[in-house]
């Protein structure tokens, strides 16, 4: 997996989808997906997970919000990423863009 230092105390790491097909034979016809998304971590410990808008991802998780992977180098996704503080008991939100390999607060 690739790791990115996005600045402003934010890091990101790509994630992949590699199911154990012996335990999950229903996925035997679906290839591994790498990268499938990002885990975005803020310096205060808040974590966001996003999935990329890819054909198999849309099929597997039709009700999930998906992001367009514009580029891996430099990292660029659309639209912005919002992590609500209410999701983890925090009193603040993290909302920003990942453009040109950097986190830009909204």
The two tokens of residue 89 are 């008991």
Residues facing 103 on adjacent strands: 98
Strand 94-99: give its sheet, edge to edge.
3-7, 10-17, 33-42, 47-52, 66-72, 75-83, 94-99, 102-105
Residue 104 confidence (pLDDT)? 97
Query: What's the pTM?
Result: 0.89
Per-residue model confidence (pLDDT) at position 93: 82
- 3-state class of 3 per DSSP? strand
Of 21 and 87, more confident: 21
Is 79 within 8 Å of 95 (Cβ atoms)? no
pLDDT tens string 69-87: 999 999 999 999 998 755 5
pLDDT at residue 89, as a whole number: 59
pLDDT digits (tens, 9 = 90+) for 26-56: 999 999 999 999 999 999 888 999 999 998 9
Query: Cα separation of 30 and 22, whole Å?
Result: 13
Give the per-residue pLDDT at 88: 56
pLDDT the model gives residue 86: 54
């Amino acid at each position: 997996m690739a790791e990115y230092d996005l600045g402003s105390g934010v890091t990101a790491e790509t994630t992949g989808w590699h199911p154990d097909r012996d335990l999950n034979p229903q996925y035997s016809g679906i290839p591994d997906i790498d990268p499938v998304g990002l885990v975005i971590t803020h310096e205060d410990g808040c974590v966001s997970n996003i999935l990329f808008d890819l054909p198999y991802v849309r099929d597997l998780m039709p009700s999930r919000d998906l992001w367009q992977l514009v580029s891996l180098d430099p990292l660029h996704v659309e639209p912005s990423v919002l992590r609500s503080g209410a999701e983890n008991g925090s009193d603040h939100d993290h909302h920003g863009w990942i453009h040109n390999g950097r986190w830009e607060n909204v």
